[in-house]
Structure formats: structure tokens, C-alpha cells
């Protein structure tokens, strides 16, 4: 078969990049899209969750309602309920049912079949008490008991061989070939046996293809060849063989990611950048002299490292992560002032207009006259600070564009609007990207292309990132951490309000809000959605809750509403009113999650708190206790103790250590979810790798990647080039569009 490489340099990568429709047809390929499977490679990396032997019963206690599963269990009991004739002409028969109790020796699962007498008799003949079988279907529930309706089944003999079956006999018997049955993540249209059939077809397309990794890499890592690994996970002869196959696929994910990062680091090091040194008595010195507080030891140390990077003739590539309220903005501003001192410009890219406005106001306030530009009465070293967002009035936008293009503005703050073609800079020397996980790599590159020489890059994140994640996702960046909180920050206590078992506590929460307002403090009330039932959600949203509070427990306070669907000028006005103290309570969505700085806000109530993740709750809680007033955060939830969602709330209530919470968050959720979907486009490149569980593997891959770059700096090895290309395509979300 002739292979169209379409830019791929190895046959195997070309085959893996092929759309699934080329192998399975359009109809079946479309069914796989719900599983995020679009290419041959996606399917071959979609491996079984577990393997069952025909002689090993499934632990029925592990089943989860809503899952499509295949279980091996014994028929413990069969009950038949005959249908009855319906009244009226023709006297049609109401279907009867067969209830089959399946057992693993301790737990039970009901399999129910509906039909007329002849069908009941046929099923009863196939299903025999005391005999084990394979049962495939969706787990549902009836009267709080798990059940399967009309499962596809096959009965087994003592050796685990299929002996009698329903109409899917050949397919299920095929699954059991080799003694192992793979349990794939599946859907109603794609039961596990069908996924296995399709994987077998995909395997045939890559048969005989050479391994993309050089021999020395496979030898160093001690892994199978790739085509053998695919066969091992989809058609294993033993569990140990399946494990070796999965090890190779995880290694490939780790090495491809680390190769991409290593070549990015090498590329950055190969470019020159204009050194940006602050003047001895310039803008940065003047700013430091007027700061009303002293930098923490951590801020001073990280700032020194950044200023040292800026003074070098190669572009800085640094990630600054810091606890909520650790003072990242001041550190980033000092870097921007150093660049402005040296005659360059700095651009700060923020993910939302609310955050861009907040940065603009905070930086203008910190600079005072030093941010007044070349106006009469301002210091000689002053620079101009401009804001550029998509919703700015035409005249304001034109002015901002002109001041950026002329170089008059030393600091330009904006949203995605900064990426537009019409935005130009006179001498862009530093890019500061806030909340990096909300931007893709290519968006950062767009901004870099606006500079005449390679700019320095400083990435900020308030989401504490475990080292293993930083190494995997931000492996092209040097990492600095701010863990120390500035002096004077108040403590924040967190309490869970159980609205289901103690509804009176909710009333007390609103009493507590009124008491806080009475002392002159302000309060955030956060909801997970804008509307409740009206927009398809469950429970109250911002709009409904605000209306209830206005007409009920908070009728006496000044209450505002903030959410993403409001017009930009309305959002700005509401936020400005709250920051100025003209509103007592702000009922909002997560638009206040990052960047909003109101030191007088000392209390937060999170409604339906169980609908937020651990890191998001930690971010939200960081909006209070930013001044000298002690804070209190109330997490209102109806989820009972013992549920996973309640465990998340307990974790948040137990500690304010963001790094500890980040580790826990990562254990419970996929890496792509923790970091945000846009970090890897619409699809995550990590299907099998878990960065906490496989930290040692990632470290090994990082060392091998460095060796690869040293041996082949030009990326001439076809397999290495294809691995990097595939990773970059996934990161930009363009895998399908470019193949």
C-alpha cells in the first residue's frame, strides 16, 4: 500500500495520523468522536482499562452507574414474570420479563430482559443457574439497585471458553481469544467488543512499519517496538505482556513531550535577544524608592534572577508561579520597568477584560506619577501605561494603538486584542503572559513575532503547579516560585455549610454576611453559573440568587451582580463600584477568580461549592484576606460526607497551602483539566501518562530528550522530527485540520 506522508517523515507516523474514517468508514468513525478518537493513532492508544480472564469473576462492587462495561459473573437466580394479554381487539400480549441475579460471590447485579413468552423461554434456556458468563451493557439503576437491561451475553465453561451465547456469539467468543478480555472505555453505540474489532483493523494498517525511535533510545529505555506494543495492549497473551505494551505507549507520550520542550529550549538558546538593563538612577530605582512596603525575601530573590535574565543576550523563558497574594504583580512590574528603563517596551497579556482592567488599575496605582508618561509635571523617568482591549471605544483604541506603535507607551496591557495584526510595537522587549494555561503556545508566538528581535518572556500563574506538571507542560521554561505571603496579610478561615442536613446554617450564613457589612467590610458571593434552570443548569445561578437575596435576607445591603455575559462597560462599572466601596456585596461567577484585588473584602460565600475544583476554590478564596482584616470563606453544599465532591471541600477547608492542594487536585483530575482545555487545544496529548504517578518516567524521558538534542541538534532523525511535529499539532489543536 502506498503511503501519503503529507509532511510526515516516517511511515508509522503517517499511518497513525490517518483519519479513522479511512480505516473504519465515515459512520463508525463518527461514533468514535464521542471518545475523542479521531485518528488511527488515537484508537491504537485507546487501551483497555482492565483485562478479564474467562475464569476470573468481576468485582461487582467496582461498577459505576452510567458506565458501559463487560463483567464476568455467575448466574445466581432466575425469576420469570409472564406477560399478560391486554384488553381490546386483537388481545395483544404485554411483554413479560426475566430477572437474572448475577453474583461475584459477595455482591449482586440484576440483569433484566423484556419480551414475549418465546423470547423469555429462549433466554431462560441460555442462562443457567450456577454457570458464569460474560455480560456486556450499560450499568443503570432501579430502586437504588444497580442493573443492566438487555445485556449482550455469552455463557462460559469451567475453562472460561464460550459455550452458549446470544446473537453476538462470534464477536464475544473472539474477544476471549487468548484467555483475556479487554474492557475498553465504551459507549452505547460502541460496546467494548466493537472497540476491540476496530482496534484489530487499525492494527493491520501499521503492521510491518519500522519503529520511529532509533535503536539506542529503545535500548536505553528498555521498551518494546511500537507495533509490538500496540499488539500487546489490544491482543495480549498475558497480563505481563499487556503491561509492557502500555509501558511503551506511556514512554512515547513522555518522550514526545520532553523532546518538544528540549528542542524549544534549544531554539530559544540559539536566538539572541537585546539585553535590557535597568539604568542606575532610572525608572526602576525611582519605583523602588516610592514603594510603600518592602519586598519579601522571595520577591527580592526572584526579581534578581529575572533582572539577571533580562540583562543577558539570549531571550529569557521563565515561569513565575506564586501562591494567591504572593506578590507576582510587583515582581512582573519591576521586570517591565527594567525593560522600559532600557528603552524597550513590555506587553502584559491577560486572559479576560476584567483581569486586564484590574492589572491596568493596579499598575497605574503602584506607579503613580511614574506611570504618567511624558506629561508636564511627571518625573523625567516616567513612562506611559496603556490598556488595549476589544471593547475599548474607537478613539481610546486608536490612541492606545498609536502610543504602542510610537514607543511612547513603555507598558501595554491587554487581552487577546494584543494579538491582532494592527497592533504594532516600536521595540517590544518583554512579554508577560498572565495565567499561561489560558493561552496556547501559538498565541505567545504571535505576540513574539511583533518584536524586531526575540523578546524576553515571563509567564505568570497563580495556580500552584506540582514539579512533575511543570516539567511536563512548562518544560521549555525556567521555573521560579513565590511561596511566601507578604507581611500584613490576614488569615482566612474556611467553613463547610451543609445545606442538606442543616438548612438553618444557610440562613445563618446570610446573617453573617449582614454582620460583616455592618462592620464596613465587603463580601463576595460566588455561583458556578449565570442562570439556573433557565440555561439548562441545576440549582440557582447568579441572576436567581441575586434576586432572592435582594428581596430577602440581604434586602438592606447594596448588592451588585457581575458575570461574563454583561456588556463590558457594565462589568467595568460594577467592578469599579465594588472596588470603591459603593457596593457591599458582589454576586458573581468565576470572573473574579484571578486578579481582582479589593483589600476591604473579608468574606466569601461560595454557592454550590461542590461544583468547583480544588484549585478553583483556592483561587476564589484568594480574593479575600488581601488586607488587614481576617477573612472567612463559607462553602455551601448539599453533597453528603463521604462523596468525592465533599472530600474536595474538606481538603480546601483543611489547608491554605496551594501546592498541597494542587497535588491533591492533580490526583483526582486529568492534567489537561487542571491546566485548562486551551493549554492543549481541544484535545489533550496525554492519554495514558499521569504526571504524578509517572514522575520517574518523565524524568527519564527528560534526560533522554536532552541527549537527543545533543546528538541531533538539527532534528534530522525522522522519528524525532515526527514526534515533535505530532506534539506541536496536538498542542495547537490542529491535528485534524493538518492531516
Distance CA 544, CA 707 (A): 58
Does the pLDDT value for residue 209 go beyond 60?
yes
Predicted local distance difference test score (pLDDT) of residue 539? 66
CB 84 within 8 A of CB 94: yes
CB 478 within 8 A of CB 317: yes
Lowest-confidence region among 210-224, 374-388, 413-427, 593-607? 374-388
Start-to-end CA distance of the chain, whole Å, equals 18
- Helix, strand, coil tally for the chain in percent (to 5): 45, 20, 40
Which residue segments constitute the domains of the chain, with CATH numbers given? 1-48+198-268+694-739 (no CATH), 52-183 (2.40.50.140), 283-482 (3.40.50.300), 492-659 (3.40.50.300)
pLDDT digits (tens, 9 = 90+) for 109-163: 999 999 888 888 888 888 888 888 888 778 888 877 889 998 878 787 766 666 6
Does the pLDDT value for residue 704 go beyond 50?
yes
Cβ partners under 8 Å of residue 206, min gap 6: 12, 15, 16, 40, 44, 227, 230
Please compute the mean of the pLDDT values over residues 599-619 and round it to a whole number.
90
Strand, coil or helix: 236: coil
Distance CA 504, CA 369 (A): 52
Residue 662: which pLDDT band, with cuts at 50, 70 and 90? confident
pLDDT digits (tens, 9 = 90+) for 532-560: 544 444 568 899 999 999 999 999 999 99
Distance CA 464, CA 305 (A): 20
0.75 exceeded by pTM: no
Distances (CA, A) of 96 to 165, 406, 714: 21, 82, 71
- How far, rounded to the nearest angstrom, does the alpha carbon of residue 55 sit from its chain's CA centroid? 39
Does the pLDDT value for residue 445 go beyond 80?
no
Does the pLDDT value for residue 167 go beyond 70?
no
Distance CA 107, CA 162 (A): 23
pLDDT digits (tens, 9 = 90+) for 669-694: 555 433 333 333 334 457 788 777 78
Rg (alpha carbons) of the chain, rounded to whole number: 30
Does the pLDDT value for residue 625 go beyond 90?
no
Which residue has 484508537 as its cell numbers?
43
Cell digits of residue 301: 530573590
The per-residue pLDDT of the chain, averaged, comes to 83
Residue 447: which pLDDT band, with cuts at 50, 70 and 90? low
Amino acid at each position: 500500500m502506498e503511503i501519503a506522508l503529507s509532511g510526515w517523515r516516517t511511515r508509522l507516523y503517517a499511518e497513525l495520523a490517518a483519519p479513522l474514517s479511512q480505516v473504519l468508514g465515515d459512520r463508525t468513525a463518527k461514533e468514535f468522536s464521542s471518545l475523542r478518537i479521531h485518528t488511527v493513532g488515537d484508537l491504537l492508544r485507546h487501551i483497555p482499562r482492565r483485562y478479564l480472564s474467562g475464569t476470573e469473576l468481576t468485582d461487582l462492587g467496582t461498577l459505576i452507574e452510567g458506565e458501559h462495561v463487560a463483567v464476568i459473573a455467575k448466574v445466581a437466580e432466575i425469576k420469570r414474570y409472564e406477560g399478560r394479554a391486554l384488553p381490546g381487539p386483537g388481545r395483544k400480549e404485554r411483554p413479560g420479563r426475566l430477572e437474572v441475579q448475577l453474583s461475584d460471590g459477595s455482591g449482586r447485579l440484576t440483569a433484566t430482559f423484556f419480551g414475549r413468552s418465546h423470547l423469555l423461554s429462549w433466554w431462560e434456556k441460555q442462562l443457567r443457574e450456577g454457570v458464569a458468563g460474560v455480560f456486556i451493557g450499560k450499568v443503570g439503576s432501579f430502586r437504588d439497585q444497580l442493573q443492566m437491561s438487555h445485556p449482550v451475553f455469552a455463557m462460559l465453561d469451567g475453562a472460561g471458553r464460550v459455550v452458549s451465547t446470544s446473537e453476538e456469539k462470534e464477536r464475544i467468543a473472539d474477544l476471549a481469544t487468548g484467555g483475556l478480555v479487554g474492557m475498553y472505555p465504551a459507549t452505547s453505540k460502541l460496546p467494548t467488543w466493537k472497540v476491540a474489532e476496530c482496534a484489530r483493523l487499525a492494527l493491520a494498517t501499521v503492521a510491518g512499519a519500522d519503529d520511529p525511535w532509533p535503536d539506542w533510545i529503545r535500548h536505553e529505555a528498555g521498551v518494546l517496538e511500537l507495533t509490538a506494543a500496540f499488539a500487546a495492549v489490544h491482543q495480549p497473551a498475558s497480563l505481563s505482556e499487556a503491561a509492557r505494551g502500555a509501558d511503551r505507549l506511556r514512554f512515547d507520550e513522555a518522550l514526545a513531550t520532553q523532546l518538544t520542550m528540549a528542542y524549544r529550549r534549544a531554539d530559544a538558546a540559539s536566538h539572541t535577544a537585546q539585553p535590557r538593563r535597568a539604568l542606575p538612577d532610572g525608572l526602576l530605582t525611582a519605583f523602588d524608592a516610592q514603594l510603600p512596603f518592602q519586598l519579601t525575601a522571595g520577591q527580592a530573590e526572584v526579581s534578581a534572577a529575572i533582572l539577571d535574565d533580562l540583562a543577558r543576550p539570549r531571550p529569557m523563558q521563565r515561569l513565575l508561579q506564586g501562591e494567591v497574594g504572593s506578590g507576582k504583580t510587583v515582581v512582573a512590574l519591576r521586570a517591565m520597568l527594567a525593560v522600559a528603563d532600557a528603552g524597550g517596551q513590555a506587553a502584559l497579556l491577560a486572559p479576560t477584560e476584567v483581569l486586564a482592567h484590574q492589572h491596568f488599575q493596579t499598575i497605574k496605582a503602584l506607579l503613580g506619577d511614574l506611570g504618567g508618561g511624558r506629561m508636564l509635571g511627571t518625573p523625567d523617568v516616567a513612562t506611559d501605561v496603556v490598556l488595549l482591549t476589544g471593547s475599548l471605544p474607537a478613539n481610546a483604541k486608536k490612541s492606545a494603538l498609536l502610543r504602542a506603535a510610537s514607543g511612547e507607551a513603555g507598558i501595554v496591557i491587554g487581552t487577546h486584542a494584543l494579538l491582532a495584526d494592527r497592533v504594532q510595537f516600536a521595540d517590544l522587549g518583554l512579554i508577560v503572559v498572565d495565567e499561561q494555561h489560558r493561552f496556547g503556545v501559538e498565541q505567545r508566538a504571535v505576540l513574539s513575532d511583533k518584536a524586531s528581535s526575540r523578546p524576553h518572556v515571563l509567564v505568570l500563574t497563580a495556580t500552584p503547579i506540582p514539579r512533575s506538571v511543570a516539567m511536563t507542560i512548562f518544560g521549555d521554561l525556567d521555573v521560579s516560585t513565590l511561596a511566601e505571603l507578604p507581611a500584613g496579610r490576614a488569615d482566612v478561615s474556611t467553613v463547610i455549610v451543609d445545606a442538606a442536613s442543616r438548612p438553618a446554617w444557610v440562613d445563618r450564613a446570610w446573617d453573617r454576611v449582614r454582620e460583616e457589612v455592618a462592620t464596613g467590610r465587603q463580601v463576595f458571593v460566588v455561583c458556578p453559573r449565570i442562570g439556573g434552570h433557565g440555561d439548562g443548569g441545576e440549582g440557582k445561578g447568579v441572576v436567581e440568587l441575586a434576586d432572592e437575596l435582594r428581596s430577602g435576607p440581604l434586602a438592606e445591603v447594596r448588592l451588585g451582580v457581575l458575570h461574563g455575559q454583561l456588556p463590558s462597560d457594565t462589568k467595568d462599572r460594577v467592578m469599579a463600584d465594588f472596588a470603591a466601596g459603593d457596593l457591599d456585596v458582589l454576586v458573581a461567577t468565576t470572573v473574579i477568580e484571578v486578579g481582582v484585588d479589593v483589600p476591604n473584602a473579608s468574606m466569601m460565600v461560595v454557592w454550590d461549592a461542590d461544583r468547583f475544583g480544588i484549585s478553583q476554590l483556592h483561587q476564589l478564596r484568594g480574593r479575600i484576606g488581601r488586607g488587614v482584616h481576617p477573612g472567612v470563606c463559607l462553602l455551601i453544599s448539599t453533597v453528603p460526607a463521604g462523596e468525592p465532591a465533599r472530600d474536595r471541600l474538606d481538603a480546601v477547608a483543611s489547608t491554605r497551602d496551594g501546592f498541597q492542594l494542587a497535588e491533591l487536585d492533580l490526583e483526582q483530575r486529568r492534567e489537561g483539566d487542571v491546566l485548562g482545555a486551551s493549554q492543549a487545544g481541544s484535545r489533550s496529548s496525554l492519554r495514558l501518562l499521569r504526571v504524578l504517578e509517572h514522575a520517574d518516567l518523565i524524568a527519564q524521558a527528560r534526560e533522554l530528550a536532552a541527549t537527543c538534542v545533543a546528538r541531533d541538534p538539527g532534528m534530522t532523525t525522522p522519528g524525532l522530527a515526527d514526534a515533535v511535529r505530532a506534539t506541536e499539532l496536538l498542542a495547537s489543536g490542529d491535528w485534524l485540520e493538518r492531516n
